[in-house]
């Protein structure tokens, strides 16, 4: 008895029908007389057959694989996104091939090119910081949805969080609590996210009439180590900032560590607001006030958009911007106002 894999032919033979009929039963594309359908299904069960996804993908010039390209699954923001995507995609019988780029645009290009050879039904991409993938994508003419960040003047589908507004809220929070010497540790300013978060920060500062010293704006990677270094710079300056907006929670974590090492207390000496609201935010010492970003939802929405585009390629593009929300905890304290806010509106000189 030869150790051969089963094929449509075997099912056809056993059910005494043609291979075409088997295919029709499997795909439900064409009407099949009930009697035959039952015979086929029975044969499938008896032989324990399941269709070969590779052959199908080859023939149809499109598999049910989805290429998902992300910077680094190890960065705690991304797993939720991936999970959200998978939860939606699996309902539609799609599977995810996952690739990490480490924010290297070379790896990103390589991954994309590699994945194409599987004729995936589409792509979900969280682009690297200075991604040069956009030309390749538009030329490729297959469904792609960008998540979290998208290339400059990308015209297709995308899902992101409202970074500008989130940062604005975060900064405002510090200002309202009386902080005047504000600092920001930005992400890479080559990335749209980095810029947007900086811009929200600046808007809040400007609105409050605060001038930010240029040394108080430090650029970092979105990593803990990089945040740690930037924070060390920041807290060595005198007078020190009393409030730091960290452009993501990893940076905030690095900042927390730098503070601790320097013997400074958070929030009394330096208050911190983060961004992302990662799980650990409510465990840190002190609990980290952070801007919540709906990572899981972002994954879900992106997957839904992708599915829609797979169904119908020429539909209008959607660029979703999901709301963020400040989660206040104990890493920010209220401080006595050093010099009053230069009041633009009426000066509400409330007696303490």
Q: Shortest distance, CB of residue 341 to a copy of itself, whole angstroms?
A: 32
User: Counting contacts by CB under 7 A, is residue 19 touching DNA?
Assistant: yes
In the bound complex, what is the minimum distance in angstroms from residue 68's beta carbon to a copy of itself?
A: 8
Tell me the torsion sign for CA atoms 99, 103, 104, 106: positive
CB of 223 to DNA, least distance (A): 39
Which of a copy of itself, DNA, none binds 76 (CB below 5-8 Å, type-dependent)? Answer: a copy of itself
| Minimum gap (Å) between residue 189 Cβ and a copy of itself | 26
| Cβ neighbours around 93 below 10 Å, total | 9
Cα end-to-end span (Å), the chain: 92
SS3 101: coil
- List the one residue from 60, 264, 321, 337 that touches DNA (CB under 7 A): 60
Tokens representing 219 are: 């650029």
Question: Which residue lies nearer to DNA by CB, 61 or 152?
Answer: 61
Report the partner that residue 210 touches, choosing among DNA, a copy of itself, none (CB closer than 5 to 8 A by kind): none
Contact 281, 329 (CB under 8 A): yes
Among 17, 144, 256, 301, binds DNA (CB under 7 A): 17
297 binds, among a copy of itself, DNA, none (CB under 5 to 8 A by kind): none
42 lies in the site for DNA, by CB under 7 A: no
How far apart, in whole angstroms, are the C-alpha atoms of residue 85 and residue 69? 12
The residues binding a copy of itself (CB under 8 A) are 5, 50-55, 57-58, 61, 63, 65, 72-74, 76, 78-80, 82-83, 86, 95-100, 113-119, 224, 253, 256-257, 279-280, 282-287
Residue 260 beta carbon to DNA: minimum distance, rounded to whole angstroms: 56
Which is nearer to a copy of itself, 73 or 189 (by Cβ)? Answer: 73
Most distant CA pair in the chain, distance: 94
72 or 308: whose CB is closer to a copy of itself?
Answer: 72
Three-class SS of residue 316?
Answer: coil
Report the alpha-carbon distance of residue 49 to residue 7 in Å, rounded: 8
Residue 41 sits in the site that holds DNA (CB under 7 A): no
d(CA 337, CA 96) in angstroms, rounded, equals: 52
Interface with DNA in residues 193-212 (CB under 7 A) = none
Q: Which is nearer to a copy of itself, 37 or 83 (CB)?
A: 83
Determine the Cα–Cα distance for residues 252 and 166; give it in Å rounded to an integer: 15
288 and 331 in contact (C-beta within 8 Å)? yes
Given a copy of itself, DNA, none, residue 115, with its beta carbon under 5 to 8 Å by kind, binds a copy of itself
As a whole number of angstroms, the distance between CA 60 and CA 343 comes to 66
C-alpha distances in Å from residue 212, one per residue of 169, 173, 201, 242, 276: 17, 16, 10, 12, 24
Which single residue is written with the structure tokens 């015209």? 155
CB of 156 to a copy of itself, least distance (A): 20
Sheet of 217-219: strand order equals 217-219, 182-186, 243-246, 271-276, 289-292, 325-327
- In whole angstroms, the minimum distance from the beta carbon of 14 to DNA comes to 13
Contact between 9 and DNA per CB under 7 A? yes
Q: Which residues bind DNA (CB under 7 A)?
A: 4-9, 17-24, 26-27, 29-33, 35-36, 49-52, 55-56, 58-61
């Amino acid at each position: 008895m030869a150790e051969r894999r089963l094929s449509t032919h075997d099912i056809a033979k056993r059910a005494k029908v043609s291979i075409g009929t088997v295919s029709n039963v499997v795909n439900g594309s064409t009407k099949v007389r009930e009697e035959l359908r039952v015979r086929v299904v029975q044969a499938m069960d008896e032989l324990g057959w399941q269709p070969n996804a590779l052959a199908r993908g080859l023939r149809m010039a499109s598999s049910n694989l989805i290429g998902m390209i992300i910077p680094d699954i190890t960065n705690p923001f991304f797993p939720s996104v991936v999970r959200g995507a998978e939860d939606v995609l699996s309902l539609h019988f799609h599977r995810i091939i996952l690739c990490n780029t480490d924010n290297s645009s070379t790896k990103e290009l390589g991954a994309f090119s590699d994945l194409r050879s599987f004729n995936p039904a589409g792509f979900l991409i969280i682009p690297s910081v200075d991604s040069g993938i956009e030309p390749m994508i538009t030329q490729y003419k297959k469904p792609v949805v960008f998540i979290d960040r998208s290339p400059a003047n990308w015209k297709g589908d995308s899902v992101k969080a409202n970074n500008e507004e989130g940062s604005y809220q975060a900064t405002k929070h510090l200002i309202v609590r009386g902080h005047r010497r504000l600092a920001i540790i930005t992400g890479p300013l080559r990335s749209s996210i980095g810029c947007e978060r900086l811009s929200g920060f600046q808007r809040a500062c400007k609105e409050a009439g605060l001038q930010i010293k240029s040394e108080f704006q430090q650029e970092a990677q979105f990593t803990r180590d990089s945040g740690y270094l930037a924070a060390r710079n920041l807290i060595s300056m005198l007078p020190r900032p009393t409030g730091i907006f960290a452009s993501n929670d990893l940076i905030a974590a690095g900042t927390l560590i730098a503070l601790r090492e320097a013997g400074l207390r958070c929030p009394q000496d330096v208050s911190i607001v983060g961004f992302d609201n990662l799980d650990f935010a409510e465990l840190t010492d002190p609990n980290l006030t952070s801007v919540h970003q709906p990572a899981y939802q972002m994954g879900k929405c992106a997957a839904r958009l992708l599915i829609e585009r797979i169904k119908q390629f020429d539909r209008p593009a959607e660029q979703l911007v999901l709301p963020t929300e400040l989660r206040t905890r104990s890493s920010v304290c209220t401080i006595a106002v050093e010099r009053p806010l230069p009041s633009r509106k009426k000066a509400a000189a409330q007696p303490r």
